[in-house]
C-alpha cells in the first residue's frame, strides 16, 4: 500500500501570522510522531491598484495600493490517527486560510 500524505497550504496577508500558524502545525505534527516537510515559502502574490485622487481633473495624480498574499506549503508524511485528530483540534488565527488535501 502506498503511504499517505497530507498537503497543507496556508495563505494570509500578514507574513507574521502565517509563519506563526506554520510553526504551530509543525509542532503539533512532530509531537504526534509524523514526519513534516516544510514549511516551504511559495511566491508572494502582489496585486496593485491605481486610483485617481480627484473625481474630476488631474489625471496624473493617483494613489497606489497593493495587496500582498503570502503562501506556505507543508507536507506531512505518514500521518497517524493522532496527527489528524490533533490537526483538526488546532486553533489558528482568523487571518489565515488553510487548505488541506489528503494524497
To the nearest whole percent, how much of the chain has pLDDT over 70?
A: 98
The 8-class DSSP code of residue 2 comes to P
Strands 62-77 and 35-52 come out as antiparallel
Task: Kindly tell me if the per-residue pLDDT of 56 is higher than 90.
Answer: no
Phi-psi domain of 58 (left: phi exceeds 0; alpha: psi -120 through 50; beta: other): left
Q: How many whole angstroms separate alpha carbon 75 and alpha carbon 38?
A: 7
Task: Kindly tell me if the per-residue pLDDT of 4 is higher than 90.
Answer: no
- C-beta neighbour count of 52 within 10 angstroms: 13
Task: Kindly tell me if the per-residue pLDDT of 13 is higher than 90.
Answer: yes
* Residue whose C-alpha cell is 509543525: 26
* pLDDT score for 3: 76
The closest alpha carbon to 27, from 74, 67, 81, belongs to 74
Task: Kindly tell me if the per-residue pLDDT of 1 is higher than 90.
Answer: no
The 8-class DSSP code of residue 15 comes to H
* pLDDT score for 2: 58
- Segment 9-31 shows an average pLDDT of 95
- Segment 47-76 shows an average pLDDT of 93
Which band of pLDDT confidence, cut at 50, 70 and 90, is reported for residue 73? very high
Rg (CA), the chain: 19
Q: Which domains does the chain have, with CATH numbers?
A: 5-102 (3.30.70.600)
Amino acid at each position: 500500500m502506498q503511504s499517505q500524505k497530507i498537503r497543507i497550504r496556508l495563505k494570509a496577508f500578514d507574513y507574521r501570522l502565517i509563519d506563526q500558524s506554520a510553526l504551530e502545525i509543525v509542532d503539533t505534527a512532530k509531537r504526534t510522531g509524523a514526519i513534516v516537510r516544510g514549511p516551504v515559502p511559495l511566491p508572494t502574490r502582489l496585486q496593485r491598484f491605481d486610483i485617481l485622487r480627484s473625481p474630476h481633473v488631474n489625471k496624473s495624480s493617483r494613489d497606489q495600493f497593493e495587496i500582498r498574499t503570502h503562501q506556505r506549503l507543508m507536507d506531512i508524511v505518514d500521518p497517524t490517527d493522532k496527527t489528524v485528530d490533533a490537526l483538526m483540534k488546532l486553533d489558528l488565527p482568523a487571518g489565515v486560510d488553510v487548505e488541506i488535501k489528503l494524497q
